[in-house]
């Protein structure tokens, strides 16, 4: 059985028009059934986080006002699509649950990562109900399956690590439905840990849900439907002239997302590597526009050619003096990673060692504060800028020569990716907006 998984991001389900487009793409792409993974309606996750933070500081009124606006927005969308009557029964317990969670947090003035995950999951659960009702209303054989039944993770709430072996076993229960030609519609971003509690995979994690499910079901193709015409040569919000990349190697995509390109979640490429399926990135709003195919085989690239430029803000650099032994450096790197920091680079030089991380979890921020207290130099306000391209493997000197033209910049360290297809360096946050368009022009436009 050939299986396709389609994932729709927040803006792809963020309005009645977008939802209608998503439904027509599903009809076209999955005539014989398949899996559809859905994010929360755009902005909903941010709103739930805001409500949680208000409740945690004792401001339950604001939290409930935000809940009210989430409810109005969802009801308005369902009404415009003619499915309000069908979904409101399924939604009522979800809104009640979110209200109880927020009230509980407001009473306690406390938000545990576990409770936060429980609240966040409601965003995706609302949207999955809405899309399923819409698909059924247009005559598709669609069935909602709760992702928590299959997407098993560990218990690191807020950025849980998936368990591919358990996910594979659990996904087998979907096979009979798929064999009947059903479209299974499920939540992205959320999973469940051994005690049954809800977990989340980190912001933007629905891409990873889709590729994990693709891997588990032995899919031939996973499609990520978003709001741009594929993976572009740079972030279009910094480089308006960024161009779509028609074909990329899996390694290029992995390096690009590891170095911060938001279009694919950083953990989403590992399942593609294991499952060896084709990954496609396309635009829900312009389904016939160009798209990016990410292939396991490496496409031919001219030596030195750079495919794309990526960046990540908000990094923290930890400096270790040269006298410290390396075991301590590696142990700290591994402790930070376990605490939910994303590691961007580790440099060991005669002048000491430099570790650059992004603290994506509160535990990692606490650990960094402890390191600063222990006397290490811990500096926030750094960004990484990366040049990525298979062409760099044949001719890495090209990228370094390009960097030489930036010699007047403050550069915190040059990091080379393991696969030899990326060169990254650290710059102060405030340099990014000027540097990225200049680099794009130098490396890609000329």
345 touches ligand ASP by CB under 6 A:
no
Nearer to ligand ASP, 206 or 249 (CB): 206
Give min distance, CB of 248 to ligand ADP, in A: 10
205 touches ligand ASP by CB under 6 A:
yes
Can you tell me the distance from the alpha carbon of 244 to that of 25, in angstroms, rounded to the nearest whole number? Answer: 20
Which stretch in 52-60, 257-265, 346-354, 370-378 sits in contact with ligand ADP by CB under 6 A? 257-265
Nearer to ligand ADP, 11 or 186 (CB): 11
Can you tell me the distance from the alpha carbon of 438 to that of 114, in angstroms, rounded to the nearest whole number? Answer: 43
> Within positions 6 to 25, which residues make up the interface with Mg ion, using CB under 5 A?
9
Nearer to ligand ADP, 169 or 434 (CB): 434
Member of 188, 340, 398, 437 binding ligand ASP (CB under 6 A): 188
Can you tell me the distance from the alpha carbon of 102 to that of 84, in angstroms, rounded to the nearest whole number? Answer: 25
Read off the DSSP letter of residue 357: E
| Residues 310 and 302 sit within 8 Å (Cβ to Cβ) | no
443 touches ligand ADP by CB under 6 A:
no
Nearer to ligand ADP, 267 or 363 (CB): 267
Query: Environment class of residue 240 by beta-carbon count within 10 Å: exposed (0-12), middle (13-18) or buried (19+)?
Result: exposed
11 touches ligand ADP by CB under 6 A:
yes
| Residues 149 and 350 sit within 8 Å (Cβ to Cβ) | no
Secondary structure of 222-275 as H, E, C letters: EEEEECCCCCECCCCCCCCCCCECCEEEHHHHHHHHHCCCCCCCCCCCHHHHHH
Tokens for 275, please give them: 């499952």
- The site partner of 227 among ligand ADP, ligand ASP, Mg ion, none (C-beta below 5 to 8 Å per kind) is ligand ADP
> Within positions 186 to 225, which residues make up the interface with ligand ADP, using CB under 6 A?
204
10 touches ligand ADP by CB under 6 A:
yes
| Residues 99 and 165 sit within 8 Å (Cβ to Cβ) | no
Tokens for 331, please give them: 């142990």
Of 139, 135, 190, 174, which Cα lies nearest the Cα of 35?
A: 174
Which stretch in 66-74, 198-206, 238-246, 342-350 sits in contact with ligand ASP by CB under 6 A? 198-206
388 touches ligand ADP by CB under 6 A:
no
Nearer to Mg ion, 9 or 214 (CB): 9
Give the contacts of 196 (CB within 8 A, at least 6 positions apart).
Answer: none
- The site partner of 422 among ligand ASP, Mg ion, ligand ADP, none (C-beta below 5 to 8 Å per kind) is none
Nearer to ligand ADP, 342 or 355 (CB): 342
Tokens for 23, please give them: 């439904």
Can you tell me whether residue 407 is helix, strand or coil?
coil
Give min distance, CB of 9 to ligand ADP, in A: 2
DSSP E strands in 116-220: the ranges are 142-144, 183-187, 190-192, 198-200
Of 225, 155, 185, which Cα lies nearest the Cα of 12?
A: 225
39 touches ligand ASP by CB under 6 A:
yes
List residues near ligand ASP by CB under 6 A.
9-10, 39-40, 45, 123, 188-189, 203-206
List residues near Mg ion by CB under 5 A.
9, 204
List residues near ligand ADP by CB under 6 A.
9-12, 39, 204, 226-228, 231-232, 234-237, 261-263, 308
């Amino acid at each position: 059985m050939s299986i396709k998984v389609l994932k729709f991001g927040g803006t792809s389900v963020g309005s009645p028009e977008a939802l209608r487009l998503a439904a027509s793409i599903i009809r076209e792409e999955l005539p014989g059934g398949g899996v559809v993974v859905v994010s929360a309606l755009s902005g909903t996750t941010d709103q739930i986080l805001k409500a949680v933070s208000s409740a945690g500081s004792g401001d339950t009124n604001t939290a409930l006002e935000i809940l009210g606006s989430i409810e109005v927005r969802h009801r308005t969308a369902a009404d415009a699509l003619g499915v309000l009557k069908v979904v409101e029964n399924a939604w009522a317990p979800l809104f009640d649950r979110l209200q109880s969670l927020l009230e509980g947090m407001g009473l306690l003035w406390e938000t545990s990562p576990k409770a936060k995950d429980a609240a966040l999951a409601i965003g995706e659960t609302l949207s999955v109900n809405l899309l399923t009702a819409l698909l059924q209303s247009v005559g598709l054989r669609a069935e909602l399956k709760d992702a928590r039944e299959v997407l098993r993770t560990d218990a690191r709430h807020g950025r849980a690590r998936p368990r591919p072996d358990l996910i594979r076993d659990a996904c087998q229960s979907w096979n009979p439905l798929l064999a009947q030609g059903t479209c299974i519609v499920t939540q992205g971003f959320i999973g469940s840990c051994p005690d049954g509690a809800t977990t989340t995979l980190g912001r933007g994690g629905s891409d990873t849900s889709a590729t994990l499910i693709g891997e588990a079901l032995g899919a031939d193709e996973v499609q990520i439907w978003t709001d741009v015409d594929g993976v572009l040569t740079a972030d279009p919000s910094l480089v308006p002239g960024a161009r779509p990349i028609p074909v990329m190697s899996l390694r290029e995509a992995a390096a690009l997302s590891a170095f911060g390109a938001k279009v694919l979640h950083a953990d989403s490429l590992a399942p593609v590597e294991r499952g060896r399926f084709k990954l496609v990135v396309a635009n829900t709003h312009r389904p016939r526009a160009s798209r990016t195919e990410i292939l396991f085989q490496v496409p031919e690239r001219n030596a030195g050619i750079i495919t794309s430029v990526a960046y990540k803000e908000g990094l923290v650099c930890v400096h270790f003096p040269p006298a410290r032994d390396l075991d301590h450096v590696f142990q700290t790197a591994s402790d930070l990673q376990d605490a939910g920091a994303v590691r961007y680079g580790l440099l060991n030089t005669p002048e000491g060692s430099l570790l650059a991380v992004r603290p994506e979890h509160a535990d990692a921020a606490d650990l960094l504060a402890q390191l600063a207290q222990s006397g290490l130099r811990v500096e926030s306000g750094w960004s990484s800028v990366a040049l990525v391209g298979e062409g760099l493997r044949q001719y890495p000197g090209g990228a370094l020569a390009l960097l030489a033209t930036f010699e007047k910049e403050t550069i915190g360290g040059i990091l080379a990716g393991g696969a030899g297809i990326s060169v990254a360096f650290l710059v102060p946050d405030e340099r990014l907006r000027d540097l990225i368009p200049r680099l794009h022009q130098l490396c890609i436009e000329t």
